[in-house]
């Protein structure tokens, strides 16, 4: 069966943001990780090594560093999100080809990120993808519960009126595709290397090229 045929039922397209709608070699998230570590140092009064350890630990155990900080230390999420996303977006280049491919997809198109929606909109603007999506959802739209929490997906999908049995999700973090697959969505892992997991239906290291096979 062709790739286009496998996506012929899809009317709702959900895209992660970081390392999905821009190539990972841009290393945009490196800037955010530096600011995260600095924020943890100041908020918890720890040195850089300990702050970096906690940043990674909370990401692994809670889905995001923010979720760990909220659950373990009761931090204010809004101030954190503003601070860590205050970065240089000029390292991103517009991608007219990707815009054309996404624009050609039939039906509803949304972005759903564990970052904040204002940050996501800045990324989309820098990539030339502004005003392309029907809506943009950040972690704040899920009560600050991050992917891969099932409740986070359910809240965002209900708000966006996503019918999961006719939806697809594109994501660079394999663990964030477990719940979408269980909800009946077609899943696409966007990353340099594939992983062999039952909840991943497709892999690509070239999102624009993958979408071309669906829309052309």
Q: What pLDDT was estimated at residue 155?
A: 97
Distance set, CA 126 to CA 93, 96, 99, 123, 130 (Å): 6, 11, 12, 5, 8
Sheet holding 202-204, edge to edge: 135-137, 108-112, 12-15, 167-171, 186-190, 202-204
| Mean pLDDT within 32-48 | 94
Which residues are CB-contacts of 189 (< 8 A; sequence separation ≥ 6)? 171, 172, 174, 177, 195, 200, 202, 203, 204
Q: What is the mean pLDDT of residues 10-26?
A: 97
The pLDDT value given to residue 63:
83
pLDDT at 102: 98
pLDDT at 106: 96
pLDDT bracket for residue 216 (50, 70, 90): confident
Question: For position 146, what pLDDT does the model report?
Answer: 93
pLDDT for 76 beyond 90:
no
pLDDT at 26 over 80: yes
Domains of the chain, CATH where assigned: 3-22+93-215 (3.40.50.1000), 28-84 (1.10.150)
Whether the predicted pLDDT of 160 surpasses 80: yes
Q: What is the pLDDT of residues 175-211, one digit of tens each?
A: 999 999 999 999 999 999 999 999 999 999 999 999 9
């Amino acid at each position: 069966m062709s790739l286009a045929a496998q996506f012929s039922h899809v009317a709702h397209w959900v895209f992660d943001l970081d390392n999905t709608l821009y190539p990972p070699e841009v290393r945009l998230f490196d800037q955010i990780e530096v600011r995260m570590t600095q924020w943890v140092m100041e908020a918890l009064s720890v040195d850089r090594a300990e702050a970096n350890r906690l940043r990674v630990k909370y990401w692994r155990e809670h889905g995001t560093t923010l979720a760990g900080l909220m659950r373990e230390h009761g931090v204010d999420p809004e101030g954190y999100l503003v601070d860590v996303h205050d970065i240089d977006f000029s390292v991103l280049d517009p991608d007219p080809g990707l815009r054309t491919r996404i624009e050609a997809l039939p039906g509803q198109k949304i972005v759903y990120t564990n970052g904040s929606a204002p940050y996501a909109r800045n990324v989309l603007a820098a990539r030339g993808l502004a005003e392309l999506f029907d809506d943009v959802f950040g972690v704040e739209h899920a009560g600050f519960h991050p992917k891969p929490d099932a409740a986070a997906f359910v809240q965002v999908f209900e708000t966006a009126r996503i019918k999961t049995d006719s939806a697809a999700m594109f994501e660079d973090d394999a663990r964030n595709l477990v719940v979408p697959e269980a909800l009946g969505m077609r899943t696409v892992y966007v990353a340099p290397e594939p992983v062999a997991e039952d909840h991943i239906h497709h892999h690509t290291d070239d999102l624009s090229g993958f979408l071309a096979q669906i829309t052309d």
